[in-house]
Amino acid sequence: MKYTEEHEWLREEDGTYLVGITAHAAEQLGDVVFVELPEVGDTVSKDDEIVVIESVKAASDILSPLDGEIVEVNSAIEDEPGKVNDDPEGDAWFFKIKPSDTSPLDDYMDEAAYKTFIG
């Protein structure tokens, strides 16, 4: 698992990456009530705002951690946004991206570094 300073996690699956938000981020957001995901087939650039999350507190944007193509989205969390609070680092992944450039991964944190980052 790799982690970004935007509190996203990335998990490799056969050359693609599943992306979601960390348990820490889900806790900070509070109860999630709305998720809007990108479309399968979208070509995205790193730092594009591609997911909107609304919690009981506020709206947040989730940035793409990589350049690439969206190859799958987890529609189940659009139907049941509360899953993001229940299992943020498991079933409640957001999208799967096929990267065109994996070099940003070198800058992302491992679990130990992320734990230090969030204090």
Partner 1 sequence: MGAPLQDLKRTGLYDLHVDLGAKMVPFAGYEMPVQYPLGVLKEHLLTRNAAGLFDVSHMGQVILRGATPTLSLERIVPQSIAGLAEGRQRYAFFTNDAGGILDDLMVANRGDHLFLVVNAACKDADIAHMRAHLTDCEIEVIEDRALLALQGPAAEAALSSLVPSAGAMKFMDIAVTDSDFGELWISRSGYTGEDGYEISVPNAHAQAFARALLAIDTVEPIGLGARDSLRLEAGLCLYGNDIDTTTTPVEAALEWALQQPRKSGGDREGGFPGAERILAEFENGASRRRVGLLPEGRAPMRAGTELYASEEAESPIGQVTSGAFGPSIERPMSMGYVAIDHAATGTKIFGDVRGKRQPVTVADMPFRPATYKR
CA distance 33 to 59: 10
The position carrying tokens 């943020």 is 88
CA distance 51 to 35: 7
| Smallest separation, CB 30 to partner 1 (Å) | 6
Cβ distance to partner 1 smaller for residue 1 or 85: 85
Cβ distance to partner 1 smaller for residue 57 or 115: 57
Residues forming a β-bridge with 73: 95
| Smallest separation, CB 83 to partner 1 (Å) | 13
| Smallest separation, CB 70 to partner 1 (Å) | 18
List of residues contacting partner 1 (CB under 8 A)? 30-31, 33-34, 36, 52, 54, 56-59, 81-82, 85
The position carrying tokens 């998990």 is 11
CA distance 38 to 20: 13
Q: What would the two tokens of residue 40 be?
A: 């399968």
| Smallest separation, CB 100 to partner 1 (Å) | 26
Cβ distance to partner 1 smaller for residue 23 or 71: 23
